[in-house]
Amino acid sequence: MPVNIWKMKVIQMKILVVGAGGREHALVCALDKSDMVEQIYSLPGNGGINKIATFVDISVKDFYKISNFCKENLIDLVVIGPEEPLVEGIVDYLEDEGIKCFGPSAAAAKIEGSKEYMKQLAKKYNIPSAEFESFTDAESAKEYVKSKKIPIVIKTDGLAAGKGVIIAQSLSEANSAIDEMFAGRFGSAGQKIVIEEFMTGEEVSFFAISDGENAIAFGSVQDHKAVGEGDTGPNTGGMGTYSPAPVVTDKIHEEIMDSIINPLIYGMNNDGIPYKGVLFAGVMIVDGKPKLLEYNVRFGDPECQVLMTRLKSDITPILLASCDKKLDECEIEFHNKSVICVVMAANGYPANYEKGTEIRNLEEAESNDNVLIYHAGTKFDDSKLLATGGRVLGVTAIEDNIINAQKRAYEAIDKIDWNEGFCRRDIGWRAIERCNES
């Protein structure tokens, strides 16, 4: 068993976490437990993050000011949460200034920034995935769809905040999706689109940490993307998660590493674009075999919330091992428990929703030691906690099994006083269904 070399060292680090969501709150909470961390800064953070970390009032897009802040405050490590600054090159900029970062370069982050690039890379390195074609005009795309089976998947090539994927159930729906994307529904992300065959199976999120040469598995999660119970309604950024995912057996875990994770890390290194950071693979289990849906270059949200809650190891040496090409000297251990995260969102999400509504009674909801509430779209105005976004809270519970974890999470939610918010009441249904069948 590899030895975690940082366990023998006492390092008091200053860490800057970039981002404002529930993912970043989970990362800050994990870092706050580390004996290696002296101080955490948040840029820009949120109501929950900024109770732990020191707020930094700089735009996420202002790399120059971020760099100056890191130098002036002797920041030892920058952890970037969201995908947009990664794709835009924040790691390249800061590393050129001598600042250590956890995350991929802009060239490596292109696997999320361009779905066409990602699909071509998967094809080059024989990574199993769906048949696809890419298009820059609506007429050619519609002609292609005519020759394919329905349902079919229409995706923006670029970043669309997790919402640029439409599963068309008819030819007319496919044509409408194509027209909407090229008309600018998702902005510049839809100037090019990717059309894929629809794969029938069970979807799972699989995470690994890479240092450019080595990769270590970092857990499986299942997400609930649809806004409504029973997986109905429009897709969102995610309405809840649980980990581990029972569908990922030991055999499937090994197959995902062998056929989806390791070939990409090898291939990108072979191409001179080493991938460092967390790698998030969306995987479809089709007839017992994993196939790639897409790669993401960051921890998911709300996937990160359940992963950080399950994590038993100190997160800091893991992040450093990724940066310093020392993952072969690092070990990762998780609690042998189930974790569930239920997202509370503002009424109307993912469409129009009201901002500035007050949330009460969070302290009582979080009074149980097995419950953590991660903030996403929140801020404090004096002593009042206000909702500022669509997805607002991630009510998270850890228990010995998924049934008890779900029960604990909804008990906490029922104590929260927020009439302007809602949640799905069936998060974890697949795992619970498996428990009831066994």
Q: Name the 3-class secondary structure at 229.
A: coil
| Residues facing 208 on adjacent strands | 217, 279
Q: How many whole angstroms separate alpha carbon 247 and alpha carbon 256?
A: 12
Q: Is the pLDDT of residue 7 over 80?
A: no
| Residues facing 205 on adjacent strands | 221, 282
Buried b (16+ CB within 10 A) or exposed e, 194-226: bbbeebebebbbbbbbbbbebbbbbbbbbbbbb
- What is the mean pLDDT of the segment spanning 324-346? 96
Structure tokens at 50: 């900024």
- What's the confidence (pLDDT) of residue 5? 46
CATH number of 338-437: 3.90.600.10
- What is the mean pLDDT of the segment spanning 35-50? 96
- What's the confidence (pLDDT) of residue 6? 47
Structure tokens at 422: 């809602």
pLDDT confidence tier of residue 9, bands split at 50, 70 and 90: low
User: Do 98 and 36 form a contact (C-beta atoms < 8 A)?
Assistant: no
User: Do 116 and 194 form a contact (C-beta atoms < 8 A)?
Assistant: yes
| Residues facing 394 on adjacent strands | 343, 374
- What is the mean pLDDT of the segment spanning 341-346? 98
- What is the mean pLDDT of the segment spanning 9-26? 91
CATH architecture of 137-191: 2-Layer Sandwich (3.30)
- What's the confidence (pLDDT) of residue 286? 95
- What's the confidence (pLDDT) of residue 255? 98
Q: Is the pLDDT of residue 222 over 80?
A: yes
Kindly report, residue by residue over 176-189, the tens digit of the pLDDT.
999 999 998 999 88
Q: Is the pLDDT of residue 415 over 80?
A: yes
Kindly report, residue by residue over 69-124, the tens digit of the pLDDT.
999 999 999 999 999 999 999 999 999 999 999 999 999 999 999 999 999 999 99
Cα–Cα distance list, 206 to 221, 307, 311, 339 (Å): 6, 11, 15, 15
User: Class of 201-329 per CATH?
Assistant: alpha beta
Kindly report, residue by residue over 229-247, the tens digit of the pLDDT.
999 998 899 999 999 999 9
- What's the confidence (pLDDT) of residue 14? 98
CA count, 13 A, side-chain hemisphere, 107: 9
Of 27, 10, 6, the closest CA to residue 277 belongs to 27
Q: Is the pLDDT of residue 356 over 80?
A: yes
pLDDT confidence tier of residue 10, bands split at 50, 70 and 90: low
- What's the confidence (pLDDT) of residue 1? 40
- What's the confidence (pLDDT) of residue 2? 45
Q: Tell me what the pLDDT averaged over the chain comes to.
A: 95
Kindly report, residue by residue over 91-106, the tens digit of the pLDDT.
999 999 999 999 999 9
* Site of tokens 């697949």: 430
Q: How many whole angstroms separate alpha carbon 302 and alpha carbon 425?
A: 16
Does domain 13-103 fall under CATH 3.40.50.20? My reply is yes
CA count, 13 A, side-chain hemisphere, 95: 17
Residue ranges of E strands in 199-260: 202-211, 215-223, 226-228, 232-235, 240-243
Kindly report, residue by residue over 248-307, the tens digit of the pLDDT.
999 999 999 999 999 999 999 999 999 999 999 999 999 999 999 999 999 999 999 999
- What's the confidence (pLDDT) of residue 340? 98
The pTM assigned to this predicted structure is: 0.94
User: Do 1 and 313 form a contact (C-beta atoms < 8 A)?
Assistant: no
Instruction: Name the residue ranges covered by the structural domains of the chain.
Output: 13-103, 137-191, 201-329, 338-437
Q: Is the pLDDT of residue 4 over 70?
A: no
pLDDT confidence tier of residue 203, bands split at 50, 70 and 90: very high
346 φ/ψ angles, rounded to the nearest 5 degrees: -75, 140
Of 110, 220, 159, the closest CA to residue 119 belongs to 110
Q: How many whole angstroms separate alpha carbon 115 and alpha carbon 192?
A: 10
Per DSSP bridges, beta strands 240-243 and 421-422 are: unpaired
Burial of 89 (0-12, 13-18, 19+ CB in 10 A): middle
User: Do 332 and 401 form a contact (C-beta atoms < 8 A)?
Assistant: no
Q: Is the pLDDT of residue 3 over 60?
A: no
